[in-house]
Structure 1
């Protein structure tokens, strides 16, 4: 798939600012510092489009990007970067504001085409499993991606990915996509999954 155009549209800090108009939306969900912005830049092949930070919790709003491709299966869509859950160096009050914002987006947006759940391959937490379970409960079967696989030793890769799959609750038949923003591994596979998302 070739990306013809990718640009930042806006940041939403309340549900009334969520997109309207019917264009399909693909949302990216994950723990703080899971590598979400790096993956988005890699997926769209646009360096610096989504702002990358080493500080967990940098994304504090629902950020919307417009994307155009040369693929007839998914020619135009909105990519939605949601705030990371879990640890972040911000006030408790601000973190509490994020949860309803994320939940309302994922529940209310009727044009939500697919949800991508990012899990760091080396660190799987309780919230990751809870997030997948919650997404399933509200009607989304997320595409699950294991990030930062380039940091896993080759000798430990199979066992690491199997552990991620088990801890997230994926069945043997459900796919887990290993992804490296550094090398581009998993990019084509993720696009293939996004062009044919499965909802519950």
Structure 2
């Protein structure tokens, strides 16, 4: 499990520069910095950024809260499509400080059409033009893959952005069904590598995802 062709696409290697820290990658704190509904509101790109995106109701807010050890950082709602802006969180770690960027969920029909029309250009502009974007975590439901999930992964690959595919709600998949689930995920997403299983409920996969974040944050992509 690792970055989906990200290093090969960028022509980079995590060994190209010495890592500034050793041991397990840990997050010490997370601070909300801004909620942006327009491109003009985007923060000045002073830190490396990792974005996180997924279909509505994939468990994105729960995954973020699990990852940063902060239950109330990202708001968990009963109604899918709650995130309607791009939210920036500054993350302090035992290595590089970075910005975690929460993108609006996609693919939920009950979100008003006018809102969806705003999301598309906003997300596209961020992903296409953000020069300090180091990678994107794409969350998919471990029990089913949608066509929009594959479209998102393929689009990011075309943009040559390192992609970390994470299958959420892993606690809903029994151990006996794991291999079959992985095969369906690989085939549905057109991937060669297995996605990473993550459970916000049990914490399964959390450290592995942190290790992938550490890897992508050491890619030598200078800030503008």
Identify whether the pair has TM-score above 0.5, normalized to the shorter chain: yes
Superposed CA deviations along residues 132-181 of structure 1, whole A, max 9, x for unmatched, are 1111111113100000010112221210122111110111xx34111000
What residue number does 1:136 align with? 157
For 1:98, which of 119, 126, 135 is the aligned residue? 119
How many residue pairs get matched?
A: 194
Q: Post-superposition, which runs of at least 4 consecutive aligned residues in structure 1 deviate over 3 A?
A: none
Could you say what secondary structure the match of 2:47 adopts? coil
Say yes or no: does 1:182 pair with 2:201: yes
For 1:39, which of 51, 63, 72 is the aligned residue? 63
Could you say what secondary structure the match of 2:212 adopts? helix
What residue number does 2:173 align with? 152
What residue number does 2:143 align with? 122
Q: Which has the higher contact order (CA 8 A, sep 6+)?
A: 2
What residue number does 1:62 align with? 86
Q: TM-score when scaled to structure 1?
A: 0.93
Distance 1:62 1:138, change over 3 A: same
For 1:14, which of 38, 52, 57 is the aligned residue? 38
Gaps of 5+ in 1: none
Say yes or no: does 1:23 pair with 2:47: yes
* Conserved 8 A contact 2:36-2:85: yes
Could you say what secondary structure the match of 1:118 adopts? strand
Gaps of 5+ in 2: 1-24
Rounded to whole Å, the distance in 1 between the matches of 2:111 and 2:166 is 26
Q: TM-score when scaled to structure 2?
A: 0.83
Rounded to whole Å, the distance in 2 between the matches of 1:25 and 1:10 is 14
Rounded to whole Å, the distance in 2 between the matches of 1:160 and 1:4 is 33
